Amino acid sequence: MPADDDRDLVQKFQKGDETAFNALVRKYQEPVYQTARRLLGSHEEAQDLSQETFIKAYRGLKDFRREATFSTWIYRITVNLGLNALRHRKLRQYFSFGNPGLTIASRDPAPDQQLEHHELMNTIEQAIERLPAKQKIVFTLRYFQNLPHAEIAGILNRDVGTIKANYHQAIRKLQKAVKS
């Protein structure tokens, strides 16, 4: 569905057509979830954040002025809520008495290639988790959601050059982590 269709759906919703919002949810449910999943690293947290994103969008869509596209707006909500969740997570870890370390569930033995692939994927996922928040967000939106730098700049309210620099810094850090 192109951005024009999004604009039509937003207008319909603003005029009282609730089914228009359902269409927007169906269109953006998976990309919002995937963005949240990559930011937070947890299926459960990503589901909660996705739900919170759409609740916030529902409440704010009546006043949406269409200065940006709907997709930029929904990703901005997702990213802002994700940053808040990451900040809360850091606070909880800082003040917790337990070990906040990452535990990886054991797996059944697999053939060598499958084991190497899983090790590589774990290395990459852990490297993504260690990226600074801004680099992680930019990398997630660019690499996994395939958004253009200009749209990411709009979502994060930053210059395109800054977004490109963050993305390339993230790539360099991930390449270095994989080579280690």
Rounded to an integer, the average pLDDT of 9-13 is: 95
pLDDT tens-digit series, residues 57-116: 999 999 998 788 999 999 999 999 998 888 777 656 554 444 334 333 434 444 666 777
Domains and CATH numbers, the chain: 1-98 (1.10.1740.10), 110-180 (1.10.10.10)
Q: How confident is the model at residue 15 (pLDDT cuts 50, 70, 90)?
A: very high
Q: How far apart are CA 95 and CA 92, in angstroms?
A: 5
Q: What is the mean pLDDT of the chain?
A: 84
User: Does the predicted model carry a pTM greater than 0.85?
Assistant: no
pLDDT tens-digit series, residues 31-66: 999 999 999 988 999 999 999 999 999 999 999 987
**pLDDT value at position 113?**
66
Rounded to an integer, the average pLDDT of 166-170 is: 93
Tokens (6 digits) for 33 = 């979830």
pLDDT tens-digit series, residues 110-156: 466 677 767 777 888 888 889 999 999 999 999 888 899 999 999 99
